[in-house]
Structure 1
Amino acid sequence: MAMHDLIARIRSRVDDLNRSERKVADVILQDPNAAIGMSIATLAQAATVSEPTVNRFCRNFETKGYPDFKIQLAQSLAGGTPYVSRSVESDDDAAAYTDKIIGATIAALDEIRRGVDPKRIERVVDHLSQARQIHFFALGASAPAAFDAQNKFFRFNLPVGAYNDVLMQRMIAAASHTGDVIVVISYTGRTRDLVEVAQVARESGALVIGITRDGSPLASVCTDILPVDLPEDTEVYMPMSSRMIHMALIDVLATGVTLRRGESFLPHLRTIKESLRPTKFPPKEG
């Protein structure tokens, strides 16, 4: 995580703060733009804490004090769209929840764009480019990303499958061999079945890539991961932004494999695309 991205650092450490410091974090994350304009006394009052607590909070985030903290907060805002915690509330009208959902998705995509590690992308593209066959595993709301991946990767003249049935996943994992790549997609990385399937695949000799939360149980058993670490309430609401992130990363990986194949592979892709032409009505003229 970039050191200048103060908002992301605060958000990632909220659960580790004490009760008083968490109040300060909540006020800042609710409206970072407003926090920049607050004096230390105003922020302390808004968080119902003392001024020394605000100073202690600032020093916890490697700043010299409140003025330096506000400078870094402004730099963080200037660096991109912050992911402000704006959960959907039960009394939101259509305008409110539409704005929150789309805004959160835009912010999440922007944060992934700024935080993604190109070396990790290159490494995962290497694994996929050298695969004998590829399987995409996911469950629940992550399943659409797995089937989207199948739709993109079958074009590379490789055996490709997407599965959202645990028993089928387990059998395929057990039958895997060296040279097979299994990509497991999970936002939380805490789904017991997927962790067990990933372990079975590793024991069978497959290379297992996780698109999941860094430090999760799933990440710990994968050969390599693309981390997706974004705040999202999956206990009450279905995953929203994370699903779009997963699909965006699948697009990135598919593009990487396409470029790795070189220009000589483009006619093959063009042939597949042209095969769909008879299935569509021609565009209207004028």
Structure 2
Amino acid sequence: MTTIARRNDNLLEDIQTRLPDLNKSERKVAEAILRDPTAATRYSIASLAREASVSEPTVNRFCRAFSATGFPDFKIRLAQSIATGTPYVGQHVQPDDTVAQFADKIMLSTMANLDRARQTLSERELTRAIDYLIQARQIHFFGMGGSAPVALDAQYKFFRFNLPVMSYSDALMQRMVAAGCTTGDVIVTISYTGRTRESIDIARIARDNGAIVIGITNPGSPLADVCTALVSVAPTENTEVYMPMSSRIVQLAVIDVLATGVTLKRGKDFQHHLKNIKESLRPTRFPEAGSED
């Protein structure tokens, strides 16, 4: 699979992804590393054990669990991970965080997850999805919960392409729209987890009626398995514990990528149409300071 600037063997990402599955002692080591990965590369094994409030054998077991031969090998891989990618992978907001601390965590986590999405987006998947969108007779964007605003944003962007576009956040409406679809219709279903039963059932209904279903979702999910085409967005936060934050921003960025791809595929002749839409907004705004308008 062709990917865009994909990075291999990112230890920090691996630690963050496996964090929920670690036992209590291992999680303490992981959290100590993720609090300050750069500082962790300078620790001795005794220093990291003190920082994590665990024993030195626990640190050694943790390193071996991540395929390191020992603590020195683990630190080398950690330094390589920092050097080749976004140093901050993600920290959860804590009850005693100051405003500055939780604001910084949210912003940095969003930046890191956007960077991860940038590295793992598949050019082949994007190209296939854009081709389907270009050929669509009409497009429906489906999103529930935290993905609903993303579907609405997609409607705002894609209506400019001079074809029928609607977004739906209600499961019953989605089901009825899917049942009424025919060949030539495209449904883009947006789901962070890809495990919502309604979304999967609705995708099946749409496909059974001849529609193309594009999923913007977790590549290993049940929803991904029933879609015609997939734009993979791997999960980076536990939305069952935390409200979705950076995941929503990543989805919005993917919508922008798809909209840009459709615009470029339409060619230069289509630019005049987009310009007319933009110009229609000019009378609704006060002129900028110093403007002669």
Q: Is the pair's TM-score, using the shorter chain for normalization, greater than 0.5?
A: yes
- Per-residue deviation, 1:53: 4.3
> What is the distance in 2 between the residues matched to 1:62 and 1:116?
26
230-239 or 151-160, larger mean C-alpha shift: 230-239
> What is the distance in 1 between the residues matched to 2:40 and 2:197?
40
Aligned ranges 1:1-286 → 2 under 5 Å: 2-18=7-23, 20-285=25-290
TM norm structure 2: 0.88
- Per-residue deviation, 1:213: 1.9
- Per-residue deviation, 1:49: 4.5
Q: Give unmatched runs, 5+ long, in structure 1.
A: none
Q: Which one-letter code corresponds to 2:199 in the other structure?
A: L
Q: Deviations over 1:100-154 (max 9, x none)?
A: 2222212221221222222221121122112221110011221111111011111
CA contact (8 A) 1:198 1:222 kept: yes
SS of equivalent residue, structure 2 residue 188: strand
226-235 or 43-52, larger mean C-alpha shift: 43-52
Q: Give unmatched runs, 5+ long, in structure 2.
A: 1-5
> What is the distance in 2 between the residues matched to 1:39 and 1:148?
49
Q: Which one-letter code corresponds to 1:209 in the other structure?
A: I
Q: Which one-letter code corresponds to 1:36 in the other structure?
A: T
> What is the distance in 1 between the residues matched to 2:117 and 2:156?
23
CA contact (8 A) 1:137 1:183 kept: yes
Q: Which one-letter code corresponds to 1:44 in the other structure?
A: A
222-231 or 46-55, larger mean C-alpha shift: 46-55
- Per-residue deviation, 1:191: 1.9
> What is the distance in 2 between the residues matched to 1:135 and 1:146?
9
Change (3 A) 1:79 1:21: same
Change (3 A) 1:58 1:125: same
- Per-residue deviation, 1:20: 4.4
> What is the distance in 2 between the residues matched to 1:31 and 1:200?
48
SS of equivalent residue, structure 2 residue 92: coil
CA contact (8 A) 1:4 1:75 kept: no
262-271 or 95-104, larger mean C-alpha shift: 95-104
Change (3 A) 1:100 1:186: same
Q: Deviations over 1:37-92 (max 9, x none)?
A: 11123223434555454344334434443223212211211223244332222333
> What is the distance in 2 between the residues matched to 1:240 and 1:120?
24
> What is the distance in 1 between the residues matched to 2:98 and 2:34?
22
User: What is the aligned residue count?
Assistant: 286
Change (3 A) 1:20 1:93: closer
CA contact (8 A) 1:30 1:84 kept: no
SS of equivalent residue, structure 1 residue 137: strand
- Per-residue deviation, 1:256: 0.7
Q: Which one-letter code corresponds to 1:111 in the other structure?
A: R
SS of equivalent residue, structure 1 residue 13: helix
